[in-house]
Amino acid sequence: MNQSRRTTPKSPVIRSGSGQVWNQSSSSASKSSSGSVYGLQHMNQQPVVKKQISFFGRLARVLTCSADIAANDEDRTPTPPIESFSNNSVGSNKNLSHSVSSTSSTSSKAYDGLQGTDELSFHDICKATGTFSAANMIGEGGFGTVYKGTLKNGSVIAIKRAKKNNYEKGIPVEFKNEILTLSKIEHLNLVRFYGFIEHDDERIILVEYISNGTLREHLDGKRGNGLEIGERLDIMIDVAHAVTYLHTYTDQPIIHRDIKSSNILINDKLRAKVADFGFARIKIEDADATHISTQVRGTAGYMDPEYITTYQLTDRSDVYSFGVLLIELVTGRYPIEPNKPNNEKLTIQWALQRLRRGEVVLAMDPKLRRNPPSMMVIEKVLRLARQCLAPTKKSRPPMQKCAEILWRIRKDYHEHVDVMAAANHSIQVPQVDARKNRLEYFGIEDSSGQRFQSA
């Protein structure tokens, strides 16, 4: 069996499982007003060429690894060819192009999805975020901080600002990965990419703003009024569609590598969008390769144990993480619960044990209603999760199969709900006002000193 080029594995790099929205941490605001912006332009616009520096030459200097940058690359793999940013390989995001000048200050004239915006500079981003005010902070993690920004035309976007000390040795892997991945994808259940800015030691990514927090915040009760089982089922299907698209329908398969509840954003209609592509891998090796040999990346509790032990990454590693997410949605618990009894610390083991014993009601999130339709959903979702969490990748279903199973579960759920509604329906009987009848037909009024006696 063909395999991809193997690299020398390093020790695993694992994120903590706390409720992060992105992979970020804060940094101080810069006062400079100039900057370079890379955005999405219309296909009929020609790349700007200044003097004798070609478009692709300048773009290669920005996005490919120099010797110093490559020394920090987690996977020691060459950067995908520049053609991966061409109009032919962007997929549905066909407006991708870049303005280039001979100076360090560059700007993009148009952003796909941000109609009416002119050039955006680092100064514009500072104004949009109140100079990166804490009041506009909406997420924080190891790589940088995410802010809500309001542009001068009223558009609201999310602004991911990378931690400055990550750039001492060049463009880091996560920033490069996120841009390469986001530029290739466009799907209803994935956050939309608008562009990125480089200005001195600042690296900023501009993406779609999702106003209703993360899935983990909803499960914790920090957002919304609690998710009912039907809403949770919709979210499962949304995530399955997004990951299926990444694995199957992009020009080159993309492995997300960090599917978890804090990377699932929820919109006002309680539908899900997958975010944070800092750990994503684009499969650019031999098409016949069975896996990618790479350093381990991910979040504790969600990571494929076979990937951890063999350093072999496949799309089934995302399927394993998705199985953990399914159990998280069913139970409401974190994957690792250090304060629980020993037999409940690892949520997936505890939940699947409840399934084996026929005690699925004990695995249900206490916030969920107990009724036959919800019990049916819980049992079927746990059975699917058990398939996704199989010890070996060969035993796990592809993500597309997971989506199909979830569609059938949702169909069965709605049929059960309709049957229950029909069974509970009763003929409307006119209500009788006894006091009014006593007065009208017998002339008897109620009083504190009298009791009505039946004939």
DSSP character for 364? S
Structure tokens at 184: 């290739």
List, in sequence order, every residue forming a beta bridge with 147; answer none if it has no partner: 137, 159
Torsions phi, psi of 325, nearest 5?
Answer: -60, -40
Residue 214, classified by CB atoms within 10 Å of its CB into exposed (0-12), middle (13-18) or buried (19+), is buried
Structure tokens at 351: 């939940």
CA distance 345 to 278: 28
CA distance 440 to 311: 86
CA distance 436 to 442: 10
Q: One of 73, 238, 258, 315 is an active-site residue; which one? A: 258
**What separation in angstroms does the CA of 141 have from each of 15, 130, 180, 210, 243?**
9, 20, 21, 17, 23
Torsions phi, psi of 266, nearest 5?
Answer: -115, 130
Residues in the annotated binding site: 164
- Annotated active-site residue 124? The verdict is no
57 Cβ contact partners less than 8 Å away, ≥ 6 residues apart: none
Instruction: Count Cβ atoms below 10 Å from residue 300 Cβ, excluding itself.
Output: 13
- Find the helix or strand (DSSP H, E) in which 148 lies: strand 144-150
Whether the CB-CB separation of 396 and 390 falls below 8 Å is answered with: yes
Whether the CB-CB separation of 129 and 172 falls below 8 Å is answered with: no
Residues in the annotated binding site for ATP: 164
Total residue count of the chain as it appears in this document = 455
CA distance 185 to 170: 25
Residues with catalytic roles: 258
